[in-house]
Structure 1
Amino acid sequence: MSPIPPTEAGGPGRLALGHRTEDGVRLASLLWELGPGWRAVSSAMLGGGIGPAQWVLNAQVPGGYARMDPVEHLLEMAPPGPGVGMLTAASVGRFTRAADGGAHAVATVGLRVPTWAAAPEGAPDPELAPVYLPGTINIIAAVPVAMSDAALVNAVMTVTEAKTQALIEEGFPCTGTASDAVCVLARADGPEELFGGPRSVWGARLARAVHRAVRRGARDWAGHDSSRAARRAR
């Protein structure tokens, strides 16, 4: 893993980008190591739910990913200790990040199949097959304060709303993709914030950081995808 040089986006801990080769394909992995003293709420397959987290791994896999043991696959790549691991078919090396008032966000954005959350029943959606198709928009966000369980869940809602706002503003008529993943990290000690909504102090900062990171990622994806006009027209 090669450390990512600090920028104005900064962030706690150490962010590093690494590469591996699987089946002849060079794939990137982004590891955010925060160390002890943090806990996370996440929808990820590895380390999902609410619990302690010392690191978050966002690993790229091929678009035709077919392994039926994604958790074991993530554990093969993960460092020791408690953490969160997620997979994506998006180009991890093209990650984007942003910060706002101490809140930090890192996103990998792929919009091969933009999807509305409330799609008609029975409508075909290629993003849903195979079952373990990896998420294409993964977001990792962190705040330097403690949050109650309820505030963490509220923060996930806020992050998701900010993601959707960014996508629509960039011209993608969708709420995301069918297999997006999110992880929000907060300190494990100290006075707990009770709210994580978009008008709370830290929820607002999270929303702005995520919004900027996802907008940059969506813009970058559109600029490097030859069929972007067709994607936006869905």
Structure 2
Amino acid sequence: MDVETVWREEDGARLAATVWRAGGGHRMIASAMLGGGIGPAGWVLNAQVAGGYSRMDPVAHLEELAKAQGLEGPGVGMLTAASVARTMRRDEDGVSVSATVGLRVPTWAAAPAGTTDPELAPIHGTPHTPGTVNIVVAVPVPLTDAALVNAVVTVTEAKTQALLEAGYPCTGTASDAVCVAATTNGGPPEPFAGPRSIWGARIARAVHAAVHAGALDYTAYLETRG
């Protein structure tokens, strides 16, 4: 996965984005706002936005950013207020992972009904600046639809394990996104991608390594800010 970091000026800030120009021959599963679902896709864009992001048309915004990078055809686009320039990349026996880790409000997936979501409100008088864990995974073998879904579960489990081991008592944040891309070239598609399958185990190790490194880096970043 050849990921490029690009920069732009927006809302008075210099913001980074990562771009993977995967090209043809890929099927992707994604929870992203742009290009979510399962289907063919040729690129992935993970774009940072300024704190206090208030646009009500994020899909249109992502389409604008994709066009500015010359990205055409179907693709996947994600947004985050976390520092995309601090994205972590890890590889494991053919699997490549890119993870952007921001943990301003670590969140448990299951919370009591009626609990106020701190992601939606300012903290200590500061503007709303959500942290997000966005993960992109590239697998060099075909995967069935079921295996793609299985891979998302594996990614999520490995992410949670990494966050807990890094000292964050959470399952992630309320706005995390995942994209898993599998080639369409090669032999018959793999039917499984759970953590004890051949490729699922590789996905889990690569995601764990990237997210764990990103979480520790985020802790160090917070310490420099006092």
Regarding TM over 0.5, the answer is yes
1:153 aligns with 2:153: no
Deviation at 1:227, TM superposition (A): 9.0
- Structure 2, gaps ≥5 residues long: 123-128
1:136 aligns with 2:163: no
Rounded Cα–Cα distance in structure 2 between residues aligned with 1:44 and 1:92 = 16
Rounded Cα–Cα distance in structure 2 between residues aligned with 1:175 and 1:228 = 24
Contact 2:119 2:130 in 1 (8 A): no
1:58 counterpart residue number: 46
Deviation at 1:189, TM superposition (A): 3.4
Contact 1:100 1:205 in 2 (8 A): yes
Q: Which of 216, 219, 223 is residue 220 of structure 2 equivalent to? A: 223
2:6 counterpart residue number: 18
1:210 aligns with 2:207: yes
Rounded Cα–Cα distance in structure 1 between residues aligned with 2:217 and 2:136 = 18
1:171 aligns with 2:144: no
**One-letter code of the match for 2:46?**
N
Contact 2:29 2:179 in 1 (8 A): yes
Matches within 5 A, 1:41-56: 41-56=29-44
**One-letter code of the match for 1:122?**
G
Rounded Cα–Cα distance in structure 2 between residues aligned with 1:94 and 1:189 = 32
Deviation at 1:124, TM superposition (A): 1.2
Rounded Cα–Cα distance in structure 2 between residues aligned with 1:224 and 1:135 = 13
Deviation at 1:226, TM superposition (A): 3.4
- Structure 1, gaps ≥5 residues long: 1-10, 230-234
2:126 counterpart residue number: none
Rounded Cα–Cα distance in structure 1 between residues aligned with 2:131 and 2:190 = 29
Q: Which of 23, 37, 44 is residue 25 of structure 2 equivalent to? A: 37
Call closer, same or farther: CA 1:223–1:134 in 2, change over 3 Å. closer
Call closer, same or farther: CA 1:115–1:29 in 2, change over 3 Å. same
Deviation sequence 1:174-229 (CA, Å, 0-9, x none): 00000100000001233100001000000000000000000000000000113999
**One-letter code of the match for 1:34?**
A
Call closer, same or farther: CA 1:142–1:134 in 2, change over 3 Å. farther
1:85 aligns with 2:77: yes
Equivalent position SS for 1:93 = helix
**One-letter code of the match for 2:30?**
S
Cα-Cα RMSD: 1.9
Q: Which of 108, 122, 128 is residue 116 of structure 1 equivalent to? A: 108
1:199 aligns with 2:187: no
**One-letter code of the match for 1:138?**
N
Equivalent position SS for 2:208 = helix
Q: Which of 162, 171, 176 is residue 158 of structure 2 equivalent to? A: 162
1:186 aligns with 2:182: yes
Rounded Cα–Cα distance in structure 2 between residues aligned with 1:109 and 1:69 = 23
Rounded Cα–Cα distance in structure 1 between residues aligned with 2:75 and 2:121 = 27
Q: How many residues align?
A: 216
Rounded Cα–Cα distance in structure 2 between residues aligned with 1:223 and 1:120 = 31
Contact 2:105 2:130 in 1 (8 A): no
Rounded Cα–Cα distance in structure 1 between residues aligned with 2:79 and 2:199 = 27
Where does structure 1 differ by over 4 angstroms across 4 or more consecutive aligned residues? none
TM-score (norm 1): 0.88
